[in-house]
Amino acid sequence: MSHVTEEQVTSGLRDAGVRSGQVILVHSAMRTLGMVAGGADTVANGLLDVLGPQGTLVVPTFTFAHEATDDPLIDPKNDPSEMGAITETVRRRPGAMRSTAYRHSFAAIGPQAPDITQVDPSLSVFDVNSSFGAMLKVDTHILLLGMTYAHSTSHHFAEWLCDVPYRHTLPIEVKVRMPDGSIQTQSMTDYQPKPSPDGSYYGSRGPDFNRLGRELEQRGQVGTAPIGNAAIRCYAMRNLIDLAKKEGTRNANVFRTEDGKKEQYTPLKFGTIVISPMLQDGAGREFSCQWCVMDEQKLKLPSLT
Residues 6+ apart with CB under 8 A from 91: 59, 61, 80, 81, 98, 107
**What is the C-alpha end-to-end distance of the chain, expressed in Å?**
25
139 phi/psi in degrees, rounded to 5: 60, 50
pLDDT in tens, 161-210: 999 999 999 999 999 999 999 999 999 999 999 987 777 777 889 999 99
The one-character DSSP state at 281 is: -
Mean pLDDT of the chain: 95
Q: CA 254 to CA 159: how far, in whole Å?
A: 9
Three-state DSSP state, 66: helix
Residues 6+ apart with CB under 8 A from 134: 112, 115, 116, 119
Using a pLDDT cut of 70, give the percent of the chain over it: 99
Query: Stretch 17-36: mean pLDDT, rounded?
Result: 98
Q: What is the pTM of this model?
A: 0.96
Segment (H or E) for 167: strand 167-177
